[in-house]
Amino acid sequence: MLRLFATIRKELLILLRDRGGLAIMFLMPMTLITIMALIQDAPFRDYQEFKIPLLLVNNDTGNLGVAIEKGLKESKIFEIQKEQDDEEQVKKSIKGGDFEIGIIIPKNVSELLNAKVNQFVAKKLTEVGFDDPSKTNTVSVAADLNIQILFAPETKKSFKASILSSLKQSTSKIETQTIMDIFSKQFKTDDSQVSKSEPIGDFVNFAEVSTIDTPKEALLLNSVQHNVPAWTIFGMFFIVISLAGSIIKERDDGSYTRLRTMPGSYINVMAGKITSYLFICMIQCLLMLMVGMFLLPHLGLPKLVIGNSFSAVFIVALSTGLAATGYGILVGTIFSTHQQSSTFGAVSVVILAALGGIWVPVYVMPDSIRMFSEFSPLYWALSAFHKVFLNQGTVQCILPFALKLLSFFTFAIGASYFYNKAATK
């Protein structure tokens, strides 16, 4: 027992005197829990807490157009911008990422609704013998009452269903009200005397208009297109642990001391490490993409489509690999023990992945978190892959992201170099 207590006391003393270790043990999980809770909470919250950018084109001057617009505003879930665009322009704005949803209310839908309700009421009255069909206005209204709705290509089905249901709720009010008004006119009586449990027609339809132009783009709306690049990036960044570990091990066992007494600078030694680990990253990326292209289809999933530009894919993979190795070198340089570097490396990559939209798409995150996404190298990498895979992006399209990743790499290597230099003084 004495040995046991002595060991416990010794371990606790060591831990309490290791400030870096304490920070990793307590501050990092707290940060992780906070960020993850915020991010994961977002998709489950009521949509009223979100402000979804919506492009509204209201060509109707009647009640229905006004009611839909009012309903959208009252729902408080949309950030509405009104334009007079045509379908193509709306599609372009959504594909360009400016809006998540587009709604086009056609001309004269209010008149069409009235006509359809009149037809419905006349039919119902005839069925119960209250009217002579010959005297009733039973002009057949063949045209469909369609409100066009467009979603961003990456929008998930469940999210679409929720939005459509919310919109349907707002239009059903005006449908019911219109029916009540016509019944009242027919019977010259109060609305309340009409049974509201009477089944009514479903007059207003929300017709989803595809934002996809080519059959190739149609393949992009699946989990494979998101998850393969997302987890490839995550895996590439996870080399931080082994890279940082190797730097620390060399420092601990004296190999690094020996290396520093050899001809050639620190940069030469680091360049060798960067090249090796970058090679690993590229192999990792290649294998992951091959899994998406060749293995997943055998498991009943769609095949990964990697776009039209192999050069763009290569540049994205290369810049992501460099960012990951740079980060690994920085972590290995700054931290003094393997435990510290591996814990920090793992947790920080998880945080950066969460912020970068690896698990939850960035657009459903709250503004306060989305702001930080812009600073995650994993977000830059994922955005670049999405540009190539989802939008058929070219080298030019991904250059801004690649430059950000390369800047991150340069910063990490520069910081490591100066940190190391300062340590030898």
CB of 337 to other proteins, least distance (A): 16
CB of 265 to other proteins, least distance (A): 8
For strand 101-105 and strand 205-209, is the pairing parallel, antiparallel, or unpaired?
Answer: unpaired
Q: Does 260 participate in binding other proteins (rule CB under 8 A)?
A: yes
Burial class (CB in 10 A: 0-12, 13-18, 19+), 355: buried
Amino acid occupying residue 127: E
Which of 81, 165, 189, 255 binds other proteins (CB under 8 A)? It is 255
What letters, b where the CB count within 10 A reaches 16 and e where it falls short, cover 64-92?
bbebbbebbeebebbebeeeebeeeebbe
Which of 91, 93, 55 is closest to 72 using CA atoms?
A: 55
Task: Kindly write down the DSSP assignment for every residue of 309-357, as one continuous string.
Answer: -HHHHHHHHHHHHHHHHHHHHHHHHH-SSHHHHHHHHHHHHHHHHHHTT
The nearer residue to other proteins, 206 or 266, going by C-beta atoms, is 266
CB of 12 to other proteins, least distance (A): 23
The whole-angstrom separation of Cα 388 and Cα 397 is 8
CB of 374 to other proteins, least distance (A): 37
CB of 258 to other proteins, least distance (A): 4
Binding mask 198-237 for other proteins (x = CB under 8 A): ----------------------------------------
Which of 185, 258, 283, 308 binds other proteins (CB under 8 A)? It is 258
Q: Does 188 participate in binding other proteins (rule CB under 8 A)?
A: no
Which of 29, 96, 133, 264 binds other proteins (CB under 8 A)? It is 264
Number of residues that bind other proteins (CB under 8 A): 13
The nearer residue to other proteins, 84 or 424, going by C-beta atoms, is 424
Using an 8 Å Cβ cutoff, are 65 and 59 in contact? yes
The nearer residue to other proteins, 192 or 424, going by C-beta atoms, is 424
The whole-angstrom separation of Cα 383 and Cα 96 is 13
The percent of the chain in helix, strand and coil, each rounded to the nearest 5, is 70, 5, 25
The nearer residue to other proteins, 259 or 399, going by C-beta atoms, is 259
Which of 1, 4, 262, 299 binds other proteins (CB under 8 A)? It is 262
Q: Which residues of this chain interact with other proteins, rule CB under 8 A?
A: 253-255, 257-264, 424-425
